[in-house]
């Protein structure tokens, strides 16, 4: 079995929020926090955002991609899963990758922001719908995360690394409150290692060109 380890680095350009299972006085929605008291991007949030971006890109290039998250609209043939299901998992076949929570580097300060619920139909604020959310401070925080797994061969591991790297590179935002300017990314980077050795960027970009039909994706 081949061991793939991906180190993800997300540099945000705005404050960030994703709700966690904790309470904070003065906030209706508190930031997610790890057991050791550090603010995090939960692994489920990270994996979901990456899958959404990967599916959008593959679909735009004409690659066959099923429609989630409802099981009945996802790949029916387990022997012929789409690339997104192979990498990020399927209701009947879990992903070979194990995502860890993303941790912010250094001390992260937080603030409480107010907001109001908006009716998308009327494009107006709902009456008596004021709420408060906890976010990171406006300074550009950096989040580091790791995902890793075991694969039957080098080719499968490299395809997985290439798809995750593609999604990270072209992901524009993550977390909640994106329409309010939260969680927007400056850039995303991935360092892929297979059995302890770096995967050359040329191999990653060759797969991108194959999926995109030959266009030079690295220059987009």
Residue 47 falls inside a structural domain: yes
pLDDT of residue 117: 55
pLDDT of residue 127: 53
> Tens digits of per-residue pLDDT, 50-87?
999 999 999 999 999 998 788 889 999 999 999 999 99
- Count: domains in the chain: 1
By percentage, how much of the chain surpasses pLDDT 90? 59
Range of the domain at 65: 2-12+43-105+142-219
Residue 78 falls inside a structural domain: yes
Between residues 137 and 215, which one has the greater pLDDT?
Answer: 137
> Tens digits of per-residue pLDDT, 26-38?
667 788 888 888 8
Read off the pLDDT band of 123 (50, 70, 90): low
Residue 186 falls inside a structural domain: yes
Residue 127 falls inside a structural domain: no
pLDDT of residue 94: 94
Other Cβ atoms closer than 10 A to 120: 7
The strand ranges marked E within 92-123 are: 97-99, 102-104, 110-119
Cα–Cα dist 135/99, whole Å:
23
Residue 51 falls inside a structural domain: yes
Residue 214 falls inside a structural domain: yes
> Tens digits of per-residue pLDDT, 131-165?
788 888 877 789 999 999 999 999 999 999 999 99
pLDDT of residue 103: 92
Residue 76 falls inside a structural domain: yes
Is 26 within 8 Å of 163 (Cβ atoms)?
A: no
Residue 84 falls inside a structural domain: yes
Q: Is the predicted pLDDT of residue 18 greater than 80, yes or no?
A: yes
Cα–Cα dist 4/149, whole Å:
5
Say which range, 77-91, 123-137, 169-183, 185-199, has the weakest mean pLDDT. 123-137
pLDDT of residue 220: 47
pLDDT of residue 214: 76
């Amino acid at each position: 079995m081949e061991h793939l380890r991906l180190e993800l680095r997300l540099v945000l350009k705005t404050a960030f929020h994703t709700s966690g299972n904790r309470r904070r006085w003065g906030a209706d929605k508190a930031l997610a926090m790890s057991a050791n008291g550090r603010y995090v991007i939960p692994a489920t949030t990270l994996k979901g955002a990456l899958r959404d971006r990967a599916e959008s890109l593959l679909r735009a290039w004409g690659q066959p991609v099923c429609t989630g998250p409802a099981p009945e609209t996802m790949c029916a043939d387990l022997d012929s899963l789409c690339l997104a299901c192979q990498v990020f998992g399927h209701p009947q076949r879990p992903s070979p990758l194990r995502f860890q929570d993303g941790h912010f580097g250094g001390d992260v300060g937080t603030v409480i922001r107010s907001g109001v619920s908006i009716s998308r139909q009327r494009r107006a604020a709902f009456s008596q719908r004021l709420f408060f959310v906890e976010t990171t401070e406006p300074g550009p925080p950096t989040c580091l995360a790791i995902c890793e797994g075991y694969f039957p061969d080098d080719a499968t591991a490299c395809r997985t690394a290439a798809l995750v790297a593609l999604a990270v590179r072209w992901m524009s935002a993550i977390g909640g409150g994106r329409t309010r300017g939260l969680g927007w990314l400056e850039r995303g980077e991935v360092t892929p290692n297979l059995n302890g050795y770096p995967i050359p960027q040329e191999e990653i970009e060759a797969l991108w060109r194959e999926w995109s039909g030959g266009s030079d994706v690295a220059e987009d």
